[in-house]
Amino acid sequence: MARERQSSRKSRQWPSVEEQLRDSRVVHGSALEQLIRDNQDFELLHPDEVNDGLPIPPWLRVHWRKQHPEEVPDASSPVASYPYPDVLDSVYEWMRIHQDLPRWYGEGQSTGNEPPEKPSGGRSRGSGGAA
C-alpha cells in the first residue's frame, strides 16, 4: 500500500530539466535548450496537467502561459486547465527540427543578426540557376 502511494505521488511530479532535454532530443548549447531552461515555472500550470496526455511538454506550456496570461479560461470551464491552441504541438515539432530557433525571440526584441529584408514582389536568383 505504501509503495502504491509513493509511486502514485512520483508519477504526478513534473519532469526534471534533464528529462525534458532528453525527451525533446535537445542539442546541448542550442537556443532550444536555453528556452527549456528558462521555462520551468510549473506553478503557472494546473496540477492536473502533469499526466494529462497532451503532446505539449511542460516547458512549452509555461512559455505559452507567460506569453498569454490573459488566455486562462474561467475555472468552471471544462477546459480551464488546458487552454492551449491546437497548433502548439506543431510548434513543438518545428522547434525540435530547428533547435537554433531562427527568428524566435520575444516581441520587440532583436538578436542583431537578422538577415536583411528581401524586397517584396521581386524574384531572387539562386546561385547557379537560370532566371
pLDDT in tens, 62-99: 999 999 988 766 666 665 666 788 899 999 999 999 99
- Give the residue among 22, 29, 17 at the shortest CA–CA distance from 101: 29
| Predicted confidence (pLDDT) per residue in 106-121, tens digit | 555 544 444 444 444 4
Residues in Cβ contact with 30 at an 8 Å cutoff, skipping those fewer than 6 apart: 99, 100, 101
* Average pLDDT rounded to a whole number, residues 21-31: 96
Phi-psi region of 36 (alpha: psi -120 to 50; beta: other; left: phi over 0): alpha
Statement: residue 26 has pLDDT above 60 = yes
Residue 102, pLDDT score: 86
Q: With a threshold of 0.75, does the pTM exceed it? A: no
Statement: residue 43 has pLDDT above 50 = yes
**pLDDT range class, residue 47, cuts 50, 70, 90:** confident
